[in-house]
Chain A
Amino acid sequence: MTRTRDMILRGRLWVLKSGENLFSDIDTDMIYHNAHLAVTSIDEMGQFAFGNLDGYRDFAGRAQPGDIILTGENFGSGSSRQHAVDCFSALGVQAVIARSFGAIYKRNAINSGFPIIELPGLPDSLFEHFDDVELDLEKGILSKGEKSFNGNPMSEVAKDIYMAGGLFQYAEQI
């Protein structure tokens, strides 16, 4: 799956919720269960995305290329598996937004050139499920029409790696 390298992404927003609140503490086993770790081809990983997340087990079948995911605190805590990033690339998901990310997940996402944006303090209900949103990676702003929320801009390092398409692609340029 080749991705665009735009700094402004537009897409349909999946607002992941647990009850009334943005879903927090989604760990790597909920994103990509360890039963499927032997899979090495990225294209085959998409089908397992959120396969172990209550309420979203059918995500892979319903996601469309270009979708953007929004969640709560501490997304991707747990083990260091790269599959938990790659499964979204495989489905053509453009970006994951969270109030915060687990540290290792953040490294893995940035290293594979997959855009993630942190929106600390985002209210639970500002955005609605399947809103057509705009995500400005450069400024860290998520918006739909009049409503918008400012978060953390993508770091320079993350931007460079994203533009190159991944850490090793970046290495080839220097």
Chain B
Amino acid sequence: MGRTIVEKIMSSHSGVDCRAGDVAWIDIDNRTARDFAGASVVGNLEKYGGDFPINDRQKTFFTFDCNVPANTIPYANNQHRIRLFARKHDLKVFDVDAGIGSHIVIENKFGKPGTTTVGTDSHLNIMGSVGAFGQGMGDVDIAYAFKTGNVWYDVPQTVKVTLEGIPAKGTEAKDVALAMLRRFNNHELLGKAVEIYGSWVETATLEDCITFSSLATEMGAIIALIPPNDNVLGFFDISREEAVYADSDAEYSEEYVLDINELEPLIAAPPSPSNVSPVSEHSDVKVDGVFIGSCTNGTYQDLKYAAELLKGHKVASGIMLKVVPATRETWSRLLDEGLLKDIFDAGGIISNAGCGGCASGQIGMTGEKEIQVSTSNRNFKGKQGKGNTYLAGVGTAVASAVLGRIASVHELKEVR
């Protein structure tokens, strides 16, 4: 029997033939911690790490992305505790200016196809977007990875999902991910790795893949692995032989086909990411605020699209449009190309790179009864404040900001 992608990655990183159900020690290529829980990692290392708490400083780094720059004293304390530890051990810190850790791992090409990354961010499985393994873990596990370079892992079973057909014009990667949530809810893929096939993934951009895989956590899955297509291989400048693909006779625990042909824009109503229905069913919902950003939809592609849609429009009066690029590099490109000006002129509030509206309050929280449309990945009660958050793609977010109510991009302009 052949092996799935996750079985292959774990085999190559453990030196033993790994199959679903095995427990193996796997080598970790990128060992990271963020400002959330990073201070606890440092605490563990100070307590148990001994004189040499870092196995390989080239592969170990901190990324500050939750609260940047810190706007609470506990975050400021934690970040500084990490900085002091990093200075002492000569570790790299992607500090408060850098952006979202998982995106930094991809942008800097640390997380190539087939590699392994762990950290304290529960969305590190975003690495599945490039056919790599990534996983968020607790501070004890991550401190152990810093110290030894390894973690133990239960090799998961793999489910194969084939997306059939081509979505309608104006439908984005986010809508395809929401279609997955609508189909599988938040528990049908629990504990499984998922491999995604079909013509949509074969032509998706790197950014589309990132958006899709960033919702694996909400799908209950360990990771959503996309076999690297030409766009992804091109970004890393590697050949197919250097990436990892499943064997044709790999063993899947289940196989599904999901029809996404002519898929229309979708939206997840509060309080759960799997509470999904067509955007058109919510056109009477008045909106108070819109957030565009996060590890799900904060890439250059996303914000360029937002800028293009906003050009020549104005955000409806009384509505906040908050825009947060995922990384400093994205910020810089948008700045150079004048795209931030289009967002600004339309009435957008632009903040520095990071998790933004998704984490604790970098660009504001929602108040009670406030209705927000967000491009992030979670709308559980309290996650983004007291208000009610709807999750949608960039087109829906922009159209809702301009029209002042939930609206699909088709109501704003004709799209490609």
**Chain A residues in contact with chain B, CB under 8 A?**
80, 82, 103-104, 106-108, 110-112, 155-158, 161, 167-168, 171-172, 174
Decide if B138 touches A108 in the complex (CB within 8 Å).
Answer: yes
- Residues on A with C-beta less than 8 A from B152 are 110, 157, 161
Decide if A174 touches B140 in the complex (CB within 8 Å).
Answer: no
Of all chain B residues, the one with the shortest Cβ separation from A152 is B21
Sorted nearest first, the 9 A-B pairs with minimum C-beta distance are A168-B48, A155-B23, A157-B152, A157-B23, A167-B144, A111-B140, A80-B138, A171-B148, A171-B147
Does B202 interact with chain A (Cβ within 8 Å)?
no
> What CA separation (Å) do A144 and B24 show in the bound complex?
32
**Chain B residues in contact with chain A, CB under 8 A?**
23-25, 44, 48, 50, 137-138, 140-141, 143-144, 147-148, 152, 154, 191
> What CA separation (Å) do A50 and B143 show in the bound complex?
29
- Residues on A with C-beta less than 8 A from B140 are 82, 108, 111-112, 167-168
Decide if B50 touches A172 in the complex (CB within 8 Å).
Answer: yes
Decide if B138 touches A171 in the complex (CB within 8 Å).
Answer: no
Decide if A103 touches B191 in the complex (CB within 8 Å).
Answer: yes
> What CA separation (Å) do A174 and B144 show in the bound complex?
12
Q: Among A107, A155, A161, which residue has its beta carbon within 8 angstroms of that of B138?
A: A107
Q: Can you name 7 extra interface pairs (CB under 8 A) apart from A107-B141, A168-B143, A168-B144?
A: A104-B138, A110-B152, A112-B140, A155-B23, A157-B24, A167-B140, A172-B48
> What CA separation (Å) do A161 and B141 show in the bound complex?
13
> What CA separation (Å) do A85 and B152 show in the bound complex?
19
> What CA separation (Å) do A17 and B50 show in the bound complex?
45
Of all chain A residues, the one with the shortest Cβ separation from B136 is A80
> What CA separation (Å) do A168 and B143 show in the bound complex?
9
Of all chain A residues, the one with the shortest Cβ separation from B156 is A103
- Residues on B with C-beta less than 8 A from A110 are 152
Of all chain B residues, the one with the shortest Cβ separation from A80 is B138
> What CA separation (Å) do A66 and B84 show in the bound complex?
43
Of all chain B residues, the one with the shortest Cβ separation from A161 is B152
Of all chain B residues, the one with the shortest Cβ separation from A106 is B154
- Residues on A with C-beta less than 8 A from B141 are 107, 111, 167
From residue A55, how far is it (CB to closest CB) to chain B in Å? 26
Of all chain B residues, the one with the shortest Cβ separation from A74 is B190
- Residues on B with C-beta less than 8 A from A80 are 138
> What CA separation (Å) do A53 and B24 show in the bound complex?
34
Decide if A171 touches B144 in the complex (CB within 8 Å).
Answer: yes
> What CA separation (Å) do A104 and B24 show in the bound complex?
16
> What CA separation (Å) do A106 and B191 show in the bound complex?
12
- Residues on B with C-beta less than 8 A from A106 are 154
Decide if B44 touches A168 in the complex (CB within 8 Å).
Answer: yes
Of all chain B residues, the one with the shortest Cβ separation from A104 is B138
> What CA separation (Å) do A62 and B163 show in the bound complex?
54
- Residues on A with C-beta less than 8 A from B143 are 168
Decide if A171 touches B48 in the complex (CB within 8 Å).
Answer: yes
- Residues on B with C-beta less than 8 A from A174 are 148
Of all chain A residues, the one with the shortest Cβ separation from B122 is A80
- Residues on A with C-beta less than 8 A from B44 are 168
> What CA separation (Å) do A112 and B138 show in the bound complex?
12
> What CA separation (Å) do A156 and B191 show in the bound complex?
21
Decide if B138 touches A82 in the complex (CB within 8 Å).
Answer: yes
From residue B142, how far is it (CB to closest CB) to chain A in Å? 11
